[in-house]
A and B are shown apart, each in its own frame.
Chain A
């Protein structure tokens, strides 16, 4: 935290109160219910419940299918995070640099963020349609027979491409606003000290950008884990079958569509614990290298 701070006993509580109130009512209360449900097998309509202790957890953690989904989720999350962060950063750096046409580039690149998720999914799926998709035809031209919806990894590639595409503008916006927050005198001074633009970027600009980058790292990770389920749903056309899916999609499938409240709650709790450990790890080890001042 800052060395210099205000010292008022009551004010910070007042400032944080609205946010905390919303979170307690709309996050902790329902989440507590989800945790409680995870120890029961419950009639969806609420007529009966059998306390089963940890057996929901046991069932899910010993399922080979679940472990396969864990595996895919890790690969998917890594690829989506790395690709969308690096492409977003590249475009933001370039857009920050050019003068002619810069606002046109920015508007165009940001505007893609406005595409509604079901439509992003639909466009993506049509591009990769196994019969008429232009990308599939392109791949066939190179001798690669893409069979989206049948072949596990071909479907995975489709999901990753659409998910990255959808997330690039997000990273672009924040990297750009971070870059524009760097004062020009710093950039000019750096230009004199260090002539190689690439080294300048690594040694001066990137450290200054690191608070934003750290924020985006965590946000992108949660995006890939959680917010891609609409894209997955459209890509598999509502039928997961033997296609790759992520953990959240499994929760959604079992809980929301399959009405297995206990089982899906246990999965939510597992997911929450894993992501919690992961982020604590990131705060402990990566945030140390973040340059705040």
Chain B
């Protein structure tokens, strides 16, 4: 038994090293100056520019209007991440509930209609999508940023998979107790889905958080800049003849990781609860 446990830890530690190592290196690199990074590449040591770089990316007013600070971008990223994650969970749980739990001939048709959205990513239909948005007058709004991203199947598909694996006896028992669709959903299905909701929330939050091309096209006001947009802004000069401020890009990247990690830690407790709770 002890040997297996030791082996488990070895596998996990290797996994952590492979996954987290590069992030750590990125963090260390962010404390060096950009020319050093340009010439020597990634750094495995602590540099001298930590305070200066992070102070700059967090507080220096950038852009034409001075609206682009690290903190302002953080706020926008948050709005996008949370708005997207919550919207996605609500829409897709309701849809999956309808598809799995109702005698509903159109259910299969609707499922496939929703599923088809997995087949053509936003990047590929981005120009027509933009035209639709301008017709609806949603350019330069938060809803214009968030709602079109909700048009995808991931959440619905996932909850369908989960609902289908929930034992039938639960619904039978609930109906014997006289629970209607609403009561069953709120009192039984939602609590049962907590793990799944946590997983989806993390994924979707980060997905919204990391959007680039769509916000870039959809907003012309610097007040809407997100962290990822800020990072891209720094790295884009690559293409030209200049040397990007790698340190700031890495620093912003590290900052951009903190809130999602907090989300992960908060939802960790949900995961663990799922473990210790009595059987469903």
Contacts and interface: CB of A to CB of B under 8 A. Distances in A.
Query: Touching in the complex, A and B, CB below 8 A?
Result: yes
Interface string B46-67: 0000000000000000000000
Contacts of B91: 18-19, 22
A268 interface: yes
A268 B194 CA distance: 37
Contacts of A132: 39-41
Contacts of B129: 26, 30
A242 interface: no
B13 to A, nearest CB: 8
A78 interface: no
A124 B100 CA distance: 42
Interface stretch (A52-60, A69-77, A92-100, A145-153): A92-100
A288 B264 CA distance: 34
B188 interface: no
B190 interface: no
B interface, how many residues as a size bin?
35 or more
A201 interface: no
Contacts of B223: none
B79 interface: no
In this complex, the member of A177, A197, A264 whose beta carbon has the largest number of chain B beta carbons within 10 angstroms is A177
A29 interface: yes
Given A112-B19, A114-B257, A122-B235, A226 B125 contact: no
Contacts of B68: none
In this complex, the member of B119, B150, B228, B264 whose beta carbon has the largest number of chain A beta carbons within 10 angstroms is B119
Contact of B98 (A15, A25, A184): A15
Contact of A218 (B106, B124, B157): B157
B26 A123 contact: yes
A215 B157 contact: yes
A251 B42 CA distance: 32
Contact of B124 (A18, A109, A251): A251
In this complex, the member of B117, B124, B265 whose beta carbon has the largest number of chain A beta carbons within 10 angstroms is B124
B195 A118 contact: no
Q: Is the interface of A mostly helix, strand, loop or mixed?
A: helix
Interface residues of A, number: 104
Contact of B275 (A180, A214, A226): A180
Given A7-B103, A23-B113, A218-B118, A98 B210 contact: no
B186 interface: no
Contact of B120 (A31, A111, A168, A176): A31
A237 interface: yes
A214 B19 contact: no
A153 B202 CA distance: 34
Contacts of B117: 23, 27
A19 B196 contact: no
Contacts of B279: 183-185
A238 to B, nearest CB: 5
A112 B97 CA distance: 31
Interface in A114-132: 114-119, 122-124, 126-127, 129, 132
A48 interface: no
Given A116-B231, A183-B280, A214-B161, A177 B195 contact: yes
Contacts of B12: 91, 94-95, 98, 105
Interface of A: 1-8, 11-13, 15-16, 18-20, 22-23, 25-31, 33-34, 37, 87, 90-91, 94-95, 97-98, 101, 103, 105-119, 122-124, 126-127, 129, 132-134, 165, 168-170, 173-174, 176-177, 180-181, 183-185, 197, 208, 211-212, 214-215, 218-219, 222, 226-227, 229-230, 237-238, 248, 251-252, 255-256, 261, 264, 268, 271-272, 275-276, 279, 292-293
Interface of B: 4-5, 8-9, 11-12, 15-16, 18-20, 22-23, 25-26, 39-42, 90-92, 94-95, 97-104, 106-107, 110, 113-121, 123-129, 131-132, 136, 147-148, 150-152, 154, 156-158, 161-162, 164-165, 167-168, 171-172, 175, 181, 184, 195-196, 198-199, 202-203, 206, 209-210, 212, 227-228, 231-232, 235, 238-239, 246, 249-250, 253, 256-257, 260-261, 264-265, 268, 271-272, 274-275, 279-280
28 contacts: A5-B103, A6-B184, A12-B99, A12-B104, A15-B102, A19-B114, A23-B151, A26-B147, A27-B151, A30-B129, A37-B128, A94-B15, A103-B272, A106-B268, A108-B16, A109-B15, A109-B16, A118-B212, A119-B256, A122-B235, A177-B196, A180-B275, A181-B274, A211-B162, A214-B161, A261-B127, A268-B120, A272-B120
Given A3-B168, A22-B151, 13 more contacts: A6-B103, A22-B147, A116-B209, A123-B42, A177-B195, A185-B279, A197-B4, A211-B165, A230-B212, A251-B124, A264-B124, A268-B124, A268-B125
